Copies of this chain bind each other. A is one copy, B any other.
Amino acid sequence: MDPDTFRREAHRLADWIADYLAGSRKYPVLSRVRPGDIAHALPTAPPAAGESFDAIFADFERVLLPGITHWNHPGFFAYFAITGSGPGVLGEFLSAALNVQAMLWRTSPAATELEEVVLSWLRQLIGLPPAFEGVIYDTASMSTLHALAAAREVAVPAVRAKGLAGRAGVPRLRVYCSDQTHSSIDKAVLLLGLGQESLRKIPSDDEFRMRVDALASAIREDRADGWLPIAAVATVGTTSSTSVDPVAEIGEICRRESMWLHVDAAYAGVAAMVPGYEAILRGAEQADSLVVNPHKWLFTPFDLSAFYCRRMDAVRSAFSLTPEYLKTVEAAPVRNLMDTGIQLGRRFRALKLWMVMRHFGVDGLRARLGEHMRLARLFASWVDESEEFERLAPVPFSVVCFRAVRKGLDEAAIERLNERLLETVNQDGEIFISHTKLHGRFALRLAIGNLHTTDADVARAWELLQARARRF
């Protein structure tokens, strides 16, 4: 693309994106296309000759845009609602243009060193001690995978050289989490060759927190049966209800049993920077590793997962190897970030987080997280006051789990009512909420995480839910 064309198109896109970020409200938040609509509207083969960016962008607006579910919409309340904030989007634009690989220090010293600096900033904000070394991965799935790989490395001597298969001396390995833990833990144990049975899910209490007594007795039972417990995952902000496991108590058990403690604070970890919320990470300072995702609730465009580890050497032991073509000699010792990951290539992700943290400042970040929690409490208060809805879990952060209820309906009928309500309200296009199950009960989930979401948006969501529920 010649420089003049690039300049013209970049300016056009700057305007389009500025309009989009300010005005995504005009789109239906959940895409209304049917399966296959988009694919069928596109040519089955690539064009032989190059096309103008005009034509490409026109097709983006005409064909693709109706197939976008608008994660940056103020009415997006599904899953964990997120924001690609302005400074973060600009950081990505710049990062794409630089296109550097942060695999070796030398392949862009600024990428490696800025990653160190911003991860130190974030670490301080959430109250972890300096003993935690940080590295950026793409997703929490990868952060957790690396944590459990390190746990396996520590627990099974020679796993790196000899693996797990066909070795008489290696017992079956156990990892513990609660029945509320994210599916990425399951996927990690599958990939690591531990097998799904190696993951023992400990029951949660009536506030969806791991039961420490049940963990202790499971470990006793497993040891007696010949399993080797290697790790536990405690969650601060579970995916369904954002409950907080008793990290300190789980940590005590891990220390006593010589198990790795990984804390999955992917969503809620950032809340520890809000005055009054420091205690949510109580005990995490003793963990072996922790993940927190700025792309979830710190206004950073996806992807950026921050992994902190007090034993990063175990991660390096599990993975680092340097082929000749990647050997470098520098004027002083350097960290090469490829040594702490399964992926060799690494984007310059620290740039966007740096821009986000500086743009908002600590006060600004705290205020916005606090505001999201206020909105969630506000919505929860309406649910609590209503005769037609009930709340299904505490609201420690910015997510509310609730459902519509009706006198005389049994549990199965209430579930059907809420399934219909979910589908209908999402079809309207003004809001998008998701669902989960909490101890067997179908729950609607309203998650607040978008910077543009206001009192009016939350009120509108409540109005829509009530109106729709009344029609059934």
Contact = CB atoms under 8 A, between A and B. Distances in A.
Which of A141, A166, A321 has the most CB atoms of chain B within a 10 A radius of its CB? A166
A275 B21 CA distance: 44
A224 interface: no
Contacts of A34: 331-332
A101 B18 CA distance: 20
Given A160-B195, A164-B164, A47 B361 contact: yes
A109 interface: yes
6 contacts: A1-B85, A46-B121, A71-B99, A71-B108, A183-B321, A324-B435
A117 to B, nearest CB: 5
A355 interface: yes
A345 B194 CA distance: 23
Interface string A314-354: 00001101111110011111100000001111010001101
Which 10 A-B residue pairings sit nearest by Cβ, starting from the closest?
Answer: A163-B195, A193-B193, A67-B110, A1-B86, A84-B99, A92-B96, A10-B14, A50-B361, A166-B172, A38-B113
A141 to B, nearest CB: 5
A48 B125 CA distance: 11
A409 interface: no
B159 A94 contact: no
Nearest to A170: B165
Interface in A66-109: 66-72, 79, 82-90, 92-101, 105-109
Q: How many of these chains are in the complex?
A: 2
A382 interface: no
A249 to B, nearest CB: 25
A87 B48 contact: no
A97 B21 contact: yes
A39 B116 contact: yes
Contacts of A325: 79, 239-240, 434-437, 445
A75 to B, nearest CB: 15
A220 interface: no
Contact of A342 (B56, B89, B191, B332): B191
A108 B65 CA distance: 10
